[in-house]
Amino acid sequence: MTQWRAALTTAVAMLAAGVAYVLLWATGPADCTEIRDWTADGVAVDVIADCQLRSGDLVTAVDGRALGTGPAADWTTGQTLDYTVVRDAGETTVPVRLHEPDLLARFAPAWSTLLFIASLLAVSTYVALRRRGPATNALLVLAAGLAGSTLPTLLGLPVVGMFQPLQRWLYLLEVIGVYLSAWTAGLAFALLFPRPMGRLAEWNRWARLSIFTAPVSIAAAVAAAAAIGSSNVLAWIGSLYPGVMAVIGLTQIALITISVSRIRNTADALERQQMRWLVGTGVLALSAGLAGWLVPDLLLGQSLPTQWIGLAALPFVFGLAVALLRHRLFDLDVVLNRGLVYGLLTASVVTLYLVVVTALTSVMRGSSTTPAAIVATAVIAVAVNPLRVVLQRGVDRMMYGERRDPYSALSRLGRRLDDAGDGDQLLPAVARDIADALRVPYVAIELEPPGPPVEAGHRPAWLTDDRLVERPLVDRAERIGRLRVAPRTPAEPLSRADQRLLDDLTRRVGAAARELSLRLDLQRSRERLVLAREEERRRLRRALHDELGPAIAGLGLRTEAARQLVDTDPRSAAEALVTVRDGTQGLVADIRRLAYDLRPPALDELGLAAALRQHADDVGQPKVTVTAADDFGDLPAAVEAAAYRIAVEALTNTIRHAHATACSIRLGTTDGWLEVRVADDGRGLPPDLHAGVGMTAMRERAAELGGSVRVESRAGGGTLVVASLPVGGGRTPTASAGDGA
């Protein structure tokens, strides 16, 4: 309630100041002038009625009194005053007769502008009364500020008004201060509607206030800087006015930028529709103003009657009312699309015309501007249609994605599928391409058998399964999976053009999904084979070690007992039995050695890290350290064996070839991958290295499991071997620079 009262009080004060200026202007004497510019010596004027003054004259004094000095003058209607004027580098005196002001004559030509201002004020007041809140409060201040500042702007300030302090300062307050405050409120409205932008709502009151009042603060700094370098009040006003107008221009640009960006960044569909109404009708109004007045005036020297210019802005008032009160009325995509295209086209045409005319005029010095204007018009006539086509494509892509240009979407997807080297990253990239092509918030690709979907984008809270558009992924009459696509918003189902593009994209994705599915099946089959082989080796080791070994040892013991029972030729029997016993013991040793070759027992007894430490202790030289970054838990037998064999082989190569004094083995897991890093401080890899049996064996062991081995020289000397082995759910790791050991 406090904010509402503050906004209402501010709006009433802005309007009251504007009405007060109208009353002062209408009740005092008037001359034939309207002040155009302020300088330290006087004011430049435009002549708006018959008199001996000329537009552009610099008035420095009236009846011998310097402008803006002394007490208020008591001049009356019908009195003739002597205006001291600087004209043609000389000073002269011009008699000017004061007359009764004609309020209707000043306001009548601006009837359309007054209609726009009144409509905006009426809509803003109605909305602020019905839906009180920070955004509607800011809108009310914006409308009241524009209304209050427009009235003095239409009337202008006559030279005689410079001698009425109240009238003079009310005019400056309205056309500078109130006008600036109005657009400051407009910026606050853009930040607050339809809801506070970003985390603005979480900020404290003073932080929000500093953002909302930033233009006013900057303008105050401009005013202070202008006062420092000004010799008198006229010079200060002359420096202040363009500075504040620049601040207002920047504020308007910020307002437009924020509003346009919120169309795409607002997640809620209804809020996005509200922003489309605002921006769409705003662009339509701007385009109408450019096309009806500015461009014809530049190209042809004439335009629609200026009295009608306010009508161009009325669509924005309508759009504002719909956005605030009836934003579900109907879709505004067509209006927004055409408004953006023709608004940008008009701005481009104006810019091109001015550039060509300026360039040709500077080349043809001394000539009239007519030839330059003719050439510029011809250039625009040739360029306007290609330019329109380019702009139309750009706006269509921004709003609808590539449904208007399916060839481009299919071509990009085709290039993506052709570059399918990284299978794990292919489908996520394809999903992102589809989301970008259709401008939808969420895409999912699901392969059979069911598993985690490959997703692109963020799934909004409103997106239920029944709203998803589903397409089967089929290749050679076999269903591979399905493609699920979200609509852009709850109120925007995919159009027929969207559906046709989706069908075309789905057909291309089916083949890629089939290839990836076969690749995954092959990988899973290979992993199953390797795992089965390792499990079989484990069972064989247990059979040899735990069953055959003790049995053979028992046979030796029984033979020894038989030796003691032999009565005949005890010497020969004893020797024979000793031989049997010795052979049996050798056989046991062989069996145990075989068991070790199949799978080192230390892996089962101690685990991977401890088994490597035991092996390092047996090596002796060079000094070997084994560190484990994580507790691995139960690793698959195949992964554990491969990691052990690779690390042992790398250490063997270090001992044989590196001439190293120290070696480190580091184990760690990341994103479902086991990484084994073996680094030494030896002489590094020779330049003409050819992979030998050991290095080839390491790479083959890793490849069997879908992993990889990288061998490289370390910066500063030594060799680094990095093995990456999948332990489940991981993606192919990216080789990092350096050894990190």
For 391-412, write each residue's pLDDT tens digit: 555 655 555 544 455 445 555 5
Share of the chain above pLDDT 70, in %: 67
Whether residue 543 has pLDDT greater than 80:
no
Pairing of strands 623-628, 469-475: unpaired
Token reading at 555: 């046979």
Q: Where are the domains of the chain?
A: 528-598, 607-726
Per-residue pLDDT tens for 568-578?
667 677 776 77
- CA distance to 31, 149, 374, 453, 504, per residue, from 34 (Å): 8, 16, 35, 71, 66
Who's near 591: CB < 8 A, 6+ residues apart? 544, 545, 548, 549, 552
Count of CB atoms situated within 10 Å of the CB of 404 = 16
SS3 of 69, please? coil
Residue 327: the pLDDT is 46
Q: What is the pLDDT of residue 478?
A: 67
For residue 701, what pLDDT band results from cuts at 50, 70 and 90?
Answer: confident
Cβ proximity of 35 and 169 under 8 Å: no
- Token digits for 267? 């997640």
Which pLDDT does position 378 carry in this prediction?
Answer: 61
372 — pLDDT class (breaks 50, 70, 90): low
For 98, the token pair is 């004061």
CB-based contact 417:430 (threshold 8 Å):
yes
Mean of per-residue pLDDT scores for the chain? 77
Give 187's contacts (C-beta < 8 A, 6+ positions apart): 212, 214, 215, 251, 254, 255, 258
DSSP per residue over 483-532, as a string?
EEE--SBTTB---HHHHHHHHHHHHHHHHHHHHHHHHHHHHHHHHHHHHH
> Cis (ω within 30 of 0) for the bond into 449?
yes
What is the per-residue pLDDT across 473-513, written as a single tens digit (0 to 9) for each?
A: 776 666 778 888 888 766 667 777 777 777 877 777 776 67
Cβ neighbours, 10 Å, residue 425 = 12
Q: How far apart are CA 313 and CA 316, in angstroms?
A: 6
459's CB contacts (< 8 A; 6+ apart) are 441, 442, 486
pLDDT of residue 732: 42
Tokens of 705: 């499991």
Q: Which range has the top average pLDDT, 116-120, 312-316, 570-574?
A: 116-120
| CA atoms within 13 Å, Cβ hemisphere of 350 | 17
Quick one: pLDDT at residue 288?
74
CA atoms within 13 A on the CB side of 539: 5
pLDDT-based confidence at 735, cuts 50/70/90? Answer: very low
Residues 304 and 290: beta-carbon distance below 8 Å: no
Alpha carbons 679 and 554: distance in angstroms, whole number: 46
Which range, 377-391, 591-605, 632-646, is most confident? 632-646
In this prediction, residues 50-68 reach a mean pLDDT of 89
How far apart (Å, rounded) are the C-alpha atoms in residues 84 and 59? 6
Q: Which residues of 222-241 are buried (b: 16+ CB within 10 A; e: fewer)?
A: bbeebeeebebbbbbbbbbb
Reply yes or no on whether the pLDDT at 157 is more than 80. Answer: yes
Q: Which residues partner with 483 through β-bridges?
A: 445, 471
In CATH, the number for domain 607-726 is 3.30.565.10
What does the pLDDT average to over 635-646? Answer: 86
Q: Which residue has the higher pLDDT, 516 or 253?
A: 253
What confidence score (pLDDT) does residue 259 get? 84
The confidence score (pLDDT) of residue 32 equals 92
* Dist. CA 698–CA 645, nearest whole Å: 8
Residue 175 clears pLDDT 90, i.e. is over it: yes
* Predicted confidence (pLDDT) at residue 340 exceeds the cutoff of 70: no
Instruction: Convert 3-31 to b/e letters by CB count within 10 Å (16 or more is b).
Output: ebeebbebbeebbebbebbbebbeebbbb
Whether residue 59 is predicted with pLDDT greater than 80 in this model: the reply is: yes
Q: Residue 349's pLDDT is what?
A: 62
Count the Cβ atoms, other than its own, within 10 Å of residue 501. 24
**What confidence category does residue 171 fall into, taking pLDDT thresholds of 50, 70 and 90?**
very high
The lowest-confidence range among 23-32, 590-599, 689-698 is: 590-599
Average pLDDT over residues 131-136: 83
Structure tokens at 317: 């008032």
Q: Quick one: tokens of 228?
A: 């420092």
- Cα distances (Å, whole numbers) of residue 506 to 443, 495, 591: 12, 16, 59
Least confident of 74-78, 274-278, 399-403, 423-427: 399-403
Tokens read off for 209:
């206030």
